[in-house]
Amino acid sequence: MAEFFPRRGDGGYGLALFLNAGDPPLPVLEDLVHMLDERGVECLELAVPFPDSVTDGPTIRRSARRALDAGVELADVLAFVERVRPGLHRLRIALLADWSHSVKPRPLADVVGEVAGSGVDGLLLHALPPRLRTDYHAAAADAGLPIVTTCYHGVSSPRVLDEAAANASAYLYLVAHYGRSGTSAAPDLAGLAGTVATLRERTAVPIAVGFGVRTRQDAESVAGCGADAVIVGSAGVARVENALSAGRDVVADFEDFVSSIAARDGEYTQIRTGG
């Protein structure tokens, strides 16, 4: 399976964009996913919607509520991925699922197997109880499913950093701030660079930094700290929300957003053939 964020030597950065499946509605999202692939975006972090996330601010929580009100559940999201994934040339899909809302009622290994079978490129399992981590890692390994692990700059203990680095096989998501998405201040760049360097000594997988990345300037600053990629959530979700409320073309609005935040290395141009 291809690497999520190829290492760059040109000062650029990989781009991961977060969206809730079902916001925009799945038929529109399908067109949006193909646009991201044509533009050369590396990763879509696609969430199975769940309510009342304690780590998300109002923008993403409203998005999740719209998707939930539309009836989008795990089975719908996996069917969506299974439908669109074979036609993608570059874009990778990392699925974010909440353990309590989407996984808890069923055997963990069964759900992991279904996620892998859909064609998802990686899985981030949100709020998994620590007692189940060993079982989760074993199930993912058995299914051949790369996983995304998370840790927090300035908050996670050395033991947590070590565990995240040891178990990441898709990429490692370093959260730049402790708090809710969309409400964070600008990253502490000096300290962030130290955390990235610490993690780099412990893992060979790409390191992606999120929370507080809203503009190209933010992304360039984070990349300057040594990150392989940036993860953009609330700013992109807000573009979807605004387009929906104004009756505008969601895909066109989001494409403009991609242009505004992508690296200035000429790589984010339309690619309509494989490669």
- Active site amino acids: 45, 56
Q: Which residues contact 181 (CB under 8 A, 6 or more apart)?
A: 55, 56, 57, 59, 60, 210, 211, 233, 234
The string over 198-234, giving b where at least 16 C-beta atoms fall within 10 Å of a residue's C-beta and e elsewhere, is ebeeebebbbbbbbbbbebebbbbbbebbbbbbbbbb
Rounded to the nearest angstrom, the gap between the alpha carbon of residue 90 and the centroid of all alpha carbons in its chain is 15
Report helix, strand or coil for 54.
coil
Residue 213 token pair: 């990345």
Q: Is the distance from CB of 150 to CB of 177 less than 8 angstroms?
A: no
Q: What share of the chain is helix, strand, coil (3-state, %, to 5)?
A: 45, 15, 40
